[in-house]
Each structure stands twice: as C-alpha cells, then as structure tokens.
Chain A
Amino acid sequence: MSNLLEVKNATLKFGGVIAVNDLTFSVEEGEVYAIVGPNGAGKSTVFNLISRFYNPYAGAITFDGHNLLDRNADSVADLGIARTFQNIELFDHATVLQNLLVGRHRHRKTNMLQEMLFTPKVRQEEKRHREAVEEVIDFLDLQPYRDKMIAGLPYGVRKVVELGRALASGPRLLLLDEPASGLSVEETQDMRWWIDDIRKQMGITVLMVEHDMGLVSGVSDRVLALADGAKLAEGTPQQVQSDPAVIEAYLGAGAA
C-alpha cells in the first residue's frame, strides 16, 4: 500500500495561537484513518489545511504526488478530494438532487454558452451526472428525499445528504468532519456501515474526524490522537485508546 495523503511538519498559527504544531502523518490508500482529540485540538483545522481553506505557516501536504499547496481551494476537488463539514454546509434552498449534482461540478465539461442553449452535449452530460448521482441516492437510501428542499429536512437526513454530495463527486479521498455528530444511535450505526461500504465497495480512502469512539474503533484502521495541535499518539484504535497520554489529555492528569 502506498501513501495517498501525506502531511509533513504542517504548522499553522493564528497570531500567537499555534493551531497545528509540526504535525506529520500519512494516510494509506484504501484505509480508514481517524483523527480524534479533545475540543480545540486542531482536528477540523487539519481538514481545512487539506482542503486549502487555510495556508500552513510551514510544512508540506501532498496528495498522490501532487503538491496540494500549489493549488487553490477550488481545485483541490479536481484531484479527487471531497469533504463534509462539521456543521453541515448544504445548499439550503435547493433540492437534495440539486445538491448532489453540485457534487458533480468537477466533472463539468460544457461551457456557459452551451449550457444557455442546452445543446445535445449538455443534455447527454446531464444524464451522465444523473446516473452517477442516482447510484449515490441508491447507496444511501435517499430516494424519499430526492426532490425535497434541504431547508425542510431533519438534521440526520442532512448529514447523509452531505455525505452523498461528497460521494457524488467520485472522490479518491473522502474527508468526513464528524460524520456522526448529532446523530441518533441508529443513524450512527447506519453511518458506520456506510463508511465500511465506502471503503470496501467503492475503494475510497476515508479520513475522518470523530468523537464517537464506538464508531472510530468500529471502522478505522488507524487513529491519530491530537492535542493542542500536536500528535499525541498514533496506531490502531486499541493502542490509541489505551495510550496514557491520550487518557491524560481527555480526562486530566492522574486519571490514568
């Protein structure tokens, strides 16, 4: 197995606050890699570094041999990196189908003029996009919501739609920012199966941030524990969970 994503000595500072401190880790192709850590540990910040919303102060991030730092945030998706957000960033005034179709944006092959005239090529492309989206709808059981507006959907469904939108882009690496936050036990269980299937059936590498240790130990191959922006421990879920430094960061000194 080769390294798909490599983060080397990444450092990010907001003024005097060091959000990510000399962090090095790599994600292998085909694995589920989880990042855990207490609030404010810099987990989401790492995601935002990878999707290029933030510029690292120092360090390097490469994806499959491409230097991510050479790219703007909007061309990260072209490499096949898709992500979800901690607080659900869907397009509220559009239907589920339209949201998923936006996920196909990186496969757009037609230009503005062709689209205004809706040439046969645009029509053909639309059908292709819909085929791809329909597969995602099938996979995530979103059929009942296909033409519903996001603004009227319950939280749990939105979470799934966001996962669907990321999947619709046909990624190689999926970044999931707290996929199970705010979900019920049942929904979390569904999420767990989906993540398993995403890896096994679709062959997509998953990098996720998650607090639910049940989910983390259930699906992930390797876990990275962060505290104050620095690496605390890395290894299998069991190794990380029993690491004294991790227990200390979560529960305070003396708990171990």
Chain B
Amino acid sequence: MRINFKTSYEHDIRLFPDWWSFFVYATLIVIAVALPWLMDDFFLGEVTNVLIWAIAGLGLMLLTGQTGQASLGHAAFLALGCYSCIIFMEQGWPFLIAFPAAGILTGVVGTIIAIPAIRLHGIYLAIATIALSILADDIIVLMEPITDGVSGKFAPMINIFGIEIERWTTPDRFYWLVLAVTILCTLAYRNLLRSPLGRAFAAVRDSEVSATAMGVHIARTKAAAFGISCAITGLAGALMGFYAGAFNNETFSIVISITLLMMIVIGGLGSIHGAFFGAVVVAFLPQFLSMTKDLIGGSSVAIPGLETGVFGMILILFILFEPMGIYGRWMKIRIWFELFPFARKDMFKRQKSYLKTERLR
C-alpha cells in the first residue's frame, strides 16, 4: 500500500502525486511515441482513431462530466472544427495556423450558442442541443458554395515546416500529430482542474446555489465550459476530417453526438481516464464485432444495427451495474489491491444524499 505524504503545497499542486505515477505516465508516453515501430499500419490507424475520439471525449467530458451540462450537439462542433480547418487551409493558411484557428472559432461559436442555451437545465439542455446536431446537417447543405454540400470535401495534405503528413501515405506521422494534440489537450484539461476555473466547474455541477454564494458567476462559468469544450471538440473534428480523408454533411450526424455522450458515460463521467477508456470501447467495438463475426463464420451475413444494438446494451449494463463507468471499476480494482486484504465490499456503496436546499429559482 502506497501512502502519499504531502510535505509542501507544491506537492499537492504537482501534476503527478509521486514518482511512481510519474514513472507510469512517462512509460505510457514513451510507448505511445514508439508505437509506429511496434505496430502495423492498420492497428496504428485504429489507435489514431482511438486518440481522436479521446480528444472529442475530453471536450465533452469537460462540459458534461466536469460542469454537469449534457450536450447532444457536439457533432455540430466536430463538423464546425473540421470544415473550418479545411476551409482555412484551402485559403492557403498553413496547418499550424488553420488548426488552432479552427479550434478557437469553434470555441467562440460554442460560447455564443451557450449564452441562450445555459438557461436550460438537464434534459431540456440536452433536447436543445439535439437541435444543433440536426441543424448542422442542413446548414452544411445550404452553405454549399463554401462547404460543397452533399458532395463533400477532401482533406488536403498537412504540411508542417516542409514535413508532409497524410493519413494514408504517412500514417506514423499523422499518428504522432494526433498524439501531440492529445497530450496538449489532456495537459490543458489537467491544468484547468487544478486551478480556480476547474473547481468552479465542479461547483456549478454539484450546487449552483452555493457556487453563487461563493462568488462564482454561474452563466459565465457555464459559458466558459462550453467554450473550452467546443474548442477541444473542434480540434478533434478537424483531426477526424483528416483521418476520414473525405467528409460531407452526413459524416457528423446526430449519431456521432449520441455515441460521444455514451462514450463518456461508459468510460466514467468526470474523469480524464474515462474519456480514454470510452474512446477505446467506441473505436474498437466495430472492429471487435466484425472480427468476432469472422471467427464464428458469419462474415457473409449482414446484420443491420448490430453495432448500435451492442453499444446500447453495453450502455444499459453500465448504467445498471457500474454507473461510474470503466474508470470507476478500474479504481475499485486498484484500491482493492492497494488495500489488500482490507478492502470491504461496501466501501463504494453510494451514500444516501441528504436533503438538498429547495431550488431558489
């Protein structure tokens, strides 16, 4: 059992609580960087896909897991990030400018949309954001002169200081690019969590009344959460565009929004790990299913809706048996080993919550 003695404030603020966890994450990053030499191109592509989903998941996690605002409209922000990045590049902007610009644009648009939307709570906010997902499709078709509508667009070659990066011809370089973005986004997320704004997010999620009494401006905090969340999602969207190579109005449908939300629930709401775990499930599930089908010799049989069916079933099982998601389960297993043999079965039983102050507005 490891006991972490904190000896200074610095100790508590650090990214890694102790050398062991620093070592674990450093090893993870080294393996991640070395992955192109360890895997063939097909699996490398799949891992890239996982990372892109994880970035998108981080974006939604910040909003839903951290700030408690459900959104079913994040496919629209993926689309916005994707289209804006590629349109910027078609205007001759280099990738290194177009990519962050796409993120910022998505963030700004997200904030503007948030200003009316954050007046809604819970399920109503979810319903309002569904509208966004549906609208995005139509807007892309209507704005055909810019977006090429139904016929869609092709992702251009990425060029960073003369290094050419493309999904198919140089999958290793593309993977490293995605990995770099993933690490930067995770770092920004972690930094937010250990600073006042991140705590304000959690405060808004758990009790708006007392957050207000502590001087947290609810609307501004929620708008900031929307902005940052959409910016990260926009970056993921741009990478998704490059990953797919070609995309049109149907690429970022409402199904993507729902998948994204399910992903973070399965992964574990409110944790960075959850976004990654969920991404692994979402990205590998189709491959896993088709491989299983091959294995049992049913590869020639088409079963429509199999993927969504299995996905839905997994979601239901998680909500019933492990509401804290894969991350919650992982924590339980870890703590069981750390405390061995003192872990008790009821240790994680959820406490009955006490009566909440009546809603004041």
- A residues near B (Cβ < 8 Å) are 48, 51, 53-54, 72-78, 82-83, 85-94, 97-98, 101-106, 108, 110, 112, 115-118, 122-123, 125-127, 129-131, 134, 151-152, 155, 158, 165, 169
Contacts and interface: CB of A to CB of B under 8 A. Distances in A.
A97 B194 CA distance: 11
B159 interface: no
B334 interface: no
11 contacts: A53-B361, A85-B209, A86-B357, A89-B209, A91-B210, A102-B211, A103-B214, A110-B196, A116-B228, A118-B194, A127-B13
A115 B200 CA distance: 12
B126 interface: no
A86 B203 CA distance: 18
Secondary structure of the B contact surface, majority rule: helix
B207 A112 contact: no
Interface in B169-199: 188, 191-192, 194-199
B355 A105 contact: no
A94 B191 contact: no
A82 B213 contact: yes
B191 A117 contact: yes
Secondary structure of the A contact surface, majority rule: helix
B353 A92 contact: yes
Interface of B: 9-10, 12-13, 188, 191-192, 194-200, 202-203, 205-207, 209-218, 224, 228, 270, 350-351, 353-357, 360-361
B195 A105 contact: no
B199 A85 contact: no
B332 to A, nearest CB: 14
A94 B206 contact: yes
Nearest to A94: B202
A59 B197 CA distance: 35
A130 B11 CA distance: 11
Contacts of B215: 74-78, 105-106, 169
Given A53-B360, A87-B355, A116 B192 contact: yes
Contact of A73 (B13, B213, B353): B213
A110 B195 contact: yes
Given A118-B191, A152-B351, A89 B210 contact: yes
The interface centre, meaning the residue of B12, B213, B224 with most chain A CB atoms within 10 A of its CB, is B213
The interface centre, meaning the residue of A83, A91, A130 with most chain B CB atoms within 10 A of its CB, is A91
The interface centre, meaning the residue of B210, B350, B361 with most chain A CB atoms within 10 A of its CB, is B210
A116 B270 contact: no
A109 to B, nearest CB: 9
